[in-house]
A and B are shown apart, each in its own frame.
Chain A
Amino acid sequence: MFSSSFWHFLTLQIFKERHKHLTTLLLSILLLFLLSSMLFIASSLRYVVMETLEGEPDFVITRIQGGDPASTPLEWMDPLFDIYGITQITPRVYGRYFVTPKEESFLIVGVDPLEEQSQKALKELLEGIDIKHFSQGDTMLVGQGVARYLKAHYYYDGYKFLTPTGEFISLKIASLLPVEGNLLSNDMVIMPLEVAQKILGYASNEVRDIGFNVPNPDERANIMDKVASLHYDLRIVSKTEMAQRYRDLYSYKEGIFLLLFIMLLVTFLLTLYQRYSMVYSSEKRQIGLLRAMGWSIADLLRLKFMETVVVVMFAFILGVILAYWFVFVWDAPLLRQIFLGSENLPNFVSFPPVVEFSTLGSIFLLYVLPSLAAVMIPVWRVAITDAKEAML
Chain B
Amino acid sequence: MGEIFLSTEVLVYLLSETILGMVLLVAFAYALRIFFKWDFQAFTPEQFKLEQGAYLINTIAIFVFVMKFGLILYFAYTLDTLANLIPGAMCGAGVIRANGYGSPLLVLKLVILFLLILWFYLNHYDLESRTYAWFRQKSLLFMLIVLLVGGEWWLDFAYFANIDTHQAVSCCSTLFGQLEGANPLPFGLNTTTLLILFYLLFSVTLLSLWSKARYLYILSNLLFIYIAYYAVVYFFGTYIYQLPTHKCPFCMLQVEYHYVGYFIWFSLFIGSFLGINGVLISLWLSLPLSKRMGYWVMGLLGFFVLLCSAYPLVYYVKNGVWL
Q: A residues touching B (Cβ–Cβ < 8 Å)?
A: 39, 42, 240, 243-244, 247-248, 251-252, 254-256, 258-259, 262, 297-298, 301, 305, 358, 361-362, 365-366, 369-370, 372-373, 376-377, 379-380, 383-384
B314 within 8 A of A: no
Q: B residues touching A (Cβ–Cβ < 8 Å)?
A: 3, 5-9, 11-13, 15-16, 19-20, 22-23, 26, 52, 55-56, 59-60, 63, 67, 70-71, 74, 77, 81, 84-85, 87
A368 to chain B, nearest CB (A): 9
| A247-B85, A369-B19 as given contacts; A362 in contact with B63, CB under 8 Å | no
Q: List 18 extra interface pairs beyond A365-B15, A370-B19, CB under 8 A.
A: A240-B87, A248-B85, A251-B6, A251-B8, A254-B6, A255-B5, A255-B7, A255-B8, A258-B8, A358-B9, A358-B81, A362-B12, A369-B67, A370-B15, A372-B63, A373-B63, A380-B55, A380-B56
Which residues on the B side are within 8 Å of A248 (C-beta)? 3, 85
Q: CA–CA, A243 to B6, complex, Å?
A: 17
Can you pick out 30 interface pairs between chain A and chain B where the beta carbons lie within 8 Å of each other? A240-B87, A243-B84, A244-B85, A248-B85, A251-B6, A252-B3, A254-B6, A255-B7, A256-B6, A258-B11, A262-B11, A298-B55, A305-B59, A358-B77, A361-B74, A362-B12, A365-B12, A365-B13, A369-B16, A369-B20, A369-B67, A370-B15, A372-B63, A373-B20, A373-B23, A373-B63, A377-B26, A377-B56, A380-B59, A384-B55
B14 to chain A, nearest CB (A): 11
If over half of B's interface residues share one DSSP class (helix, strand or loop), that class is named, otherwise mixed; here it is helix
Q: Report the tally of A-B residue pairs with Cβ distances under 8 A.
A: 81
Q: Which 6 pairs from chain A and chain B are nearest by CB?
A: A255-B6, A384-B52, A362-B12, A380-B56, A365-B16, A373-B23
Report whether B8 and A42 are in contact in the complex, using a CB–CB cutoff of 8 Å: yes
Which residues on the B side are within 8 Å of A42 (C-beta)? 8
Q: CA–CA, A383 to B70, complex, Å?
A: 27
Which residues on the A side are within 8 Å of B63 (C-beta)? 372-373, 376
Which residues on the B side are within 8 Å of A252 (C-beta)? 3, 6
Which residues on the A side are within 8 Å of B5 (C-beta)? 255
Which residues on the A side are within 8 Å of B23 (C-beta)? 373, 376
Q: CA–CA, A16 to B182, complex, Å?
A: 70
Report whether B77 and A255 are in contact in the complex, using a CB–CB cutoff of 8 Å: no
Q: CA–CA, A372 to B70, complex, Å?
A: 15
| A248-B3, A373-B23 as given contacts; A362 in contact with B8, CB under 8 Å | yes
B273 to chain A, nearest CB (A): 22
Report whether B74 and A365 are in contact in the complex, using a CB–CB cutoff of 8 Å: yes
Q: CA–CA, A177 to B198, complex, Å?
A: 61
| A305-B59, A361-B74, A376-B60 as given contacts; A247 in contact with B8, CB under 8 Å | no
A272 to chain B, nearest CB (A): 13
The residue of chain A having its C-beta at the shortest distance from the C-beta of B6 within the complex is A255
Which residues on the A side are within 8 Å of B87 (C-beta)? 240
The residue of chain A having its C-beta at the shortest distance from the C-beta of B2 within the complex is A255
Which residues on the A side are within 8 Å of B55 (C-beta)? 297-298, 301, 380, 383-384
B124 to chain A, nearest CB (A): 12
B56 to chain A, nearest CB (A): 5
**CB within 8 A of A301: which of B8, B59, B71?**
B59
Q: CA–CA, A301 to B53, complex, Å?
A: 12
Q: CA–CA, A305 to B58, complex, Å?
A: 13
| A366-B15, A373-B20, A376-B60 as given contacts; A39 in contact with B8, CB under 8 Å | yes
The residue of chain B having its C-beta at the shortest distance from the C-beta of A257 within the complex is B8
Report whether A366 and B84 are in contact in the complex, using a CB–CB cutoff of 8 Å: no
Q: CA–CA, A380 to B59, complex, Å?
A: 8
Which residues on the A side are within 8 Å of B26 (C-beta)? 377
**CB within 8 A of B59: which of A243, A247, A376?**
A376
Which residues on the A side are within 8 Å of B71 (C-beta)? 365
Which residues on the A side are within 8 Å of B13 (C-beta)? 365
Which residues on the B side are within 8 Å of A369 (C-beta)? 16, 19-20, 67
The residue of chain B having its C-beta at the shortest distance from the C-beta of A368 within the complex is B67
The residue of chain B having its C-beta at the shortest distance from the C-beta of A262 within the complex is B15
A154 to chain B, nearest CB (A): 45
The residue of chain B having its C-beta at the shortest distance from the C-beta of A252 within the complex is B6
Which residues on the B side are within 8 Å of A247 (C-beta)? 84-85
Report whether B52 and A251 are in contact in the complex, using a CB–CB cutoff of 8 Å: no
Q: CA–CA, A300 to B87, complex, Å?
A: 52
A386 to chain B, nearest CB (A): 10
Report whether A366 and B12 are in contact in the complex, using a CB–CB cutoff of 8 Å: yes
